[in-house]
Structure formats: C-alpha cells, structure tokens
Amino acid sequence: MPSQGRSLHVATLLTGLLECLGFAGVLFGWASLVFVFKTEHYFEDLCEPSPGLTSNATGHDDCTAQDERFSLIFTLASFMNNFMTFPTGYIFDRFKTTVARLIAIFLYTSGTLIIAFISAASASLLFLAMPMLTVGGVLFLITNLQIGNLFGKHRSTIITLYNGAFDSSSAVFLIIKLLYEQGVSLRASFIFLSLCGAWHVGRTFLLMPRGHIPYPLPPSYSYGLCSGDSAGEEKEERAESRKLHPPSGELPSPKEETPGPAWPEEPHSFRSYVSSRRFAWHLVWLSVIQLWHYLFIGTLNSLLTSLASGDRALVSSYTNAFAITQFFGVLCAPWNGLLMDQLKQKYQKEARKTGSSASAAALSSAVPSLTLTSLLCLGFALCASVPILPLQYATFILQVISRSFLYGGNAAFLTLAFPAEHFGKLFGLAMALSAIVSLLQFPIFALIKGPLQNNPFYVNVMLVLGTLLTFVHPFLVYRECRQEAAPATSA
C-alpha cells in the first residue's frame, strides 16, 4: 500500500506539472497569438489609410487603433489574472479542491471554445474569452500548489517549480503560432485545448483530493484512486488541520509556503499591517515591476513591428524568440527560492550565535532577493527602452528571469514579514491592488501611439525612474532588520 500511495503521489505531481506547463499561464504568450489574430484580420477594420510613410503590420495602413484594441484585451485579461487571485483563493478555501477545479475547467473550456469558433467579424468576444481563460488558469495553479504538501521537505521546491511552469506555459501560444504557420488552423488548435477538458476532469476525480491536502501529511492520508471513503478523507483532514495548524488555514498561498513573521509577538490588527510602511513599499515594489512586464508583453507585437519597419517575417522571428525564452521560466524560478533558503539558514545560524532576533535574521534573507529582482528589472527596462532590434534578445532574457523572480520573491517576502493569520488576506490584497496599477498599461500605450506619435522615450524615462524607486524597498527592509538586531548585539 505505501508503494501504491507513493506512485499516486508521483503521478499527481507529474500530471500537475504538465497541467501548469500546458494550460495555466498561457495568457503571457499573448504576443504570439496577436500575430495569428492579425493574420486572420481580427480588428482590421480599425486600420486606416496611412497619410504619410508610417509603416505597420500591413505595410499600407495605419493600424494604431487595431494595436490599441489588442492592448486593451490584454490589459483586461492581465488585470483579471491578478485581481481574481483573492476571490479564487476564497473559492478554493471555502468549497475545496473538486468544486474549485470544476469551476476552472468550465471557465477554461468555455474560453477556448469561444476562441475556436469566433472569426474576424466576432473578434470582440475575445474580451470575454481571454479573461475566462486567465481565471481558469489561475484556479488550476492554486489547486495544484497543495501537491507540494505530499512531499514534505521538498514542498518549497515543488511550489516554486509549479510557479515556474505557470510562467513557462506562455510557450503554448508559440506552439499554436508555429502550427498555424504549418497549416493547422487556429480553430483546430483551440478545439484540441477544449477537448483536454476531459483530461482535467479525469485528473480531478482520480488524482486529486476532494478537500485539501493537509501539511504535514498524516501517515494514513489517502485520496483519489486510493481513497474509497471521501467522508473519511475529509474527517482525517479536519482532524489533522486542527491538531497541527491554527484556524487561519492550511494552504498558505498561491506562491509560497508557511509564513514565519518578523513582527513582534503582541497582536496587531489586519488594518495595522495594511497601513504599515513595510506593506506600502512592498506594494510599490510589486506594482512598478509588474507594470513594466505587463506593458512590455501587451505591446510587444506593436514594438517589434515598429523596430522591424513592418517586416512580418522579422516580427515573426523575434516573436518566436521571445516565446522560447519564456519557456525557460520553469528553470529560472527555483533559483530565487534556493537563494532565500540558503541565506535564511545562514543568517539564522549567525543570529543564534549572537543572540539577535531570529525573525529579523529570516527577514534579512529577503533583502538580496528584493534587490536582485529590482536590478534585473532595471536591466530589462533599459534594454527595452533602446530602439535597437537585436538588443531585444537581451531584453527577452532579462525579462523572463526578472518575472520568474518577481512573484516568488513577492510571496516569500510576505511569508517572512507578516503573521500567518493575515498572510492570505495580505497576499490577495497586494495582488488586487497591483492589478489596479497594471490598468495603467492601456492609457500609457494610448499615450505613446497618440500624443507622443509612437515615440516612447519620455514614457520609458518615467518608468525607468519608477524602477529606481523600487530599490527603496530592500533598503528600508535592510535598515529595519539592522535596527532590530542592534539591541541584541549591543546587550
């Protein structure tokens, strides 16, 4: 029986990895899909005859309004990707795994079917389909992250790996684009994704629990194929949760693991943490960096078209290169967690020797991660701001590394900086507020295409200055940790 359980765990792990890699974060391959949509003449009626020598995707018309429409769709979908983290997390906590996954399958399959059967005449339905695809993918990720609980000491590695797979799934739209160029229709590709809903349903009932996977894992815990008694599974889960955890919940977050707060032990209200300087600067850090990434992904097709002077073959080549680099997010993501784990062990060992605060030592481990993420984003922003086409290869590499560090670093900081009982609410609030900031990408794009006449120089300067502002956050955290450790070392 133990070997059967272990085989089930491995099957759950591998199929969960495939689900995150193949379905969960496909939105971020948007640039590849836009290329196909333009070839299919979506929103082409918005193009106007060019009064001058302006080059564009068609080589004859000014398609600024078409680009704005695609940018608006991505803005809405990326907003939903973050803003819906809180409500989808609530659905998962309240209604458990099976219900959450069935909702995800319904949304995802509906989204793929809409895209499969629309045409240029009904392209406005993308405003409905892409958010459905996005929210369904987020629910897939959230329900899969608990699989790390099955593997004890490897839990953090698996959680980070799944987040990397979520980022890498943007390569799915590249595959669709390449198949399209080989004669496979867009409809056939999305019908295939829709039919995969049957696989998701089978996995839901055969390889996933009906409730939540507890952590630490009870020795007799069973689920899926090995569990013939769903009531027993739920009873065991509740008993283990009451024994091992406070009432705040068993699955910490969609991005990392159980928090260890670097706050004093006296109780504070949720409102006090939200209004704290620490949370405010972390929100600035997250929002500015995320805005850069969303703006870059959402406007990449327009940027490449401009830099390539409308050469569709060149645009296609660079779009493929960008999508390929996105696939390597699954390899980049674990390094941030590894860096923080190693530094946390080192600093806490030093804290025990000096008698300083262990919680401050743990929080100190986030400082290099926060700083490195800001530094990577600065390099990415500077490269993206230089209008030289070959330099965009470096931009693609820095962008994928920076993005893979961003979300793991965000959750890791919140787990270290705030108490466990408020972690879920703070995580959801941070993602929701940063989503509101991400809505700026559309007016910024409209500003560049309109009043600035396709010259993003001044916008890039402002965004680079905003990126420099993110370095304030790790500096303040570092200073706070030093101040907290100082009384103990001087005593």
Identity of residue 450: G
Tens digit of each residue's pLDDT (9 = 90 or more) over 73-108:
999 999 998 888 888 878 888 888 999 999 999 999
Tell me, letter by letter, the H, E, C secondary structure of 93-108: HHHHHHHHHHHHHHHH
Cα–Cα distance, 432 to 85 (Å, whole number): 7
Mean local confidence (pLDDT), 109-125: 96
In this prediction the pTM is 0.78
* Least-confidence region, from 44-53, 83-92, 93-102, 130-139: 44-53
Virtual torsion, Cα 80, 82, 84, 89, nearest 10 deg: 150
Cα–Cα distance, 189 to 22 (Å, whole number): 13
Cα–Cα distance, 308 to 314 (Å, whole number): 6
Q: Left (φ > 0), alpha (ψ -120 to 50) or beta: where does 215 sit?
A: beta
Percentage above 90 pLDDT, the chain? 45
Quick one: pLDDT at residue 265? Answer: 47
Tens digit of each residue's pLDDT (9 = 90 or more) over 166-211:
888 988 999 999 999 999 999 999 999 999 999 999 999 999 999 8
* Least-confidence region, from 93-97, 264-268, 303-307, 375-379: 264-268
Confidence of residue 264 (pLDDT cuts 50, 70, 90): very low
DSSP-derived secondary structure letter, 62: E
pLDDT averaged over the chain?
A: 83
Tell me if the bond preceding 216 is cis, omega within 30° of 0.
yes
Quick one: pLDDT at residue 260? Answer: 47
Quick one: pLDDT at residue 199? Answer: 95
* Least-confidence region, from 31-45, 136-150, 167-181, 329-343: 329-343
Under 8 Å between Cβ of 100 and 114: no
Mean local confidence (pLDDT), 403-429: 77
Mean local confidence (pLDDT), 209-236: 71
**Strand pairing partners for 48?**
62
More confident residue, 5 or 250: 5
Quick one: pLDDT at residue 270? Answer: 79
Under 8 Å between Cβ of 399 and 328: no
**Cβ contacts of 236 within 8 Å, gap of 6 or more:** 214, 218, 220, 221
Cα–Cα distance, 425 to 222 (Å, whole number): 30
Tens digit of each residue's pLDDT (9 = 90 or more) over 347-375:
777 777 776 677 777 788 889 989 999 99
Statement: residue 54 has pLDDT above 50: no
390: tokens are 């070959």
Quick one: pLDDT at residue 267? Answer: 56
Confidence of residue 241 (pLDDT cuts 50, 70, 90): very low
Strongest mean pLDDT among 83-87, 280-284, 295-299, 481-485:
280-284
Cα–Cα distance, 131 to 133 (Å, whole number): 5
Under 8 Å between Cβ of 167 and 50: no
